[in-house]
Amino acid sequence: IRDKFKIPYVWIVLADGHEAAHMAGELCASELLSNRMKIVERDTLLGLMGDHGRPLLVNRDLTVFYRLFPGRESYLVRSMAIVPLTLEGRIIGTLNLGDPSENRYAPGMDPSLLERLAVKVSICLSNVMAHERLKIAASRDPLTGLLNRRAMESVLKREFERAVRYETPLAVIFLDLDDFKSVNDTYGHDAGDDLLEHLAENLCRMSRSMDVVARYAGDEFVIVLPSTPAAAAGKFADRLCVFLEKNPLSLRGEPVRVSTSYGIASIDEAGVSDPASLLRRADERLMEAKGRKRRQRRVVRLER
């Protein structure tokens, strides 16, 4: 738009809280996008332009509209057009055009071209959102919202290669619930799903922003810990298990108490040569931990 119509300043404002704003917020780390996009409160946006759905052309008292300007660029604007972007009949943002000439966007001018541009931008946003939904569906577990196994393996490959290149530690935790079947048998499968969601939420709460939490299969979860040696991963896993034990799922007012087991592997171990072998080693140690618990329970029963 800027190049084709020779408009010095072109940017998009999106109303906070809408799906489009959420997706855009994740992309605004890009310097180009951060200079071409801003997210504002919906009430602020509608308060400035109203909810009538018509373009607003202004060349006087522009100070009130400064809150719509992206913050990383200097603007010399004496007239501007604020054109609503709509999806499904609802205003989700604005296409904004600015010019140093106060005559470029004077009130009373024919806004039909601006409205056509806004329709095209709205369609583009709709297509981007549909594409992002497909990406999320392909990479996320539908129950917990965590990365699925395939996406996790892709992330693990990237982190493994980075750890090798920069000679930094990397650890993996393979974790699952002990006797998850009994929860399904006692409370029903809906309760089992609630428990998995509860576990996923708390795994994310306890993990760092740089860690990667994924649902591997069933009640099995994987946590990828970049820049973390095995000893630190072990301490984290212990804290995690204690936290989960102290914060059980509440079902119909009653706590559903379950224990967890885990296995840890790190990149510097002998025999770990690739992401698959790292994950396999952690899985083997998880199985060993569960085996020890079963043997301990048998010993307790025999002593009784």
262 three-class SS: strand
Contact 39, 14 (CB under 8 A): yes
| Cα distance between residue 190 and residue 98, in whole Å | 54
Q: Is 126 left (phi over 0), alpha (psi -120 to 50) or beta?
A: alpha
Residues labelled as active-site residues:
219
**Tokens 């100070």 label which residue?**
63
Using the structure block, give the residue that is written with the tokens 């840890």. 264
With residue 280 as reference, give the H or E element that holds it. Answer: helix 275-303
Residue 105, exposed/middle/buried by CB under 10 A (0-12, 13-18, 19+)?
Answer: buried
202 sits in which H/E element: helix 189-206
- Name which of 238, 239, 204 is nearest 222 in CA terms: 204
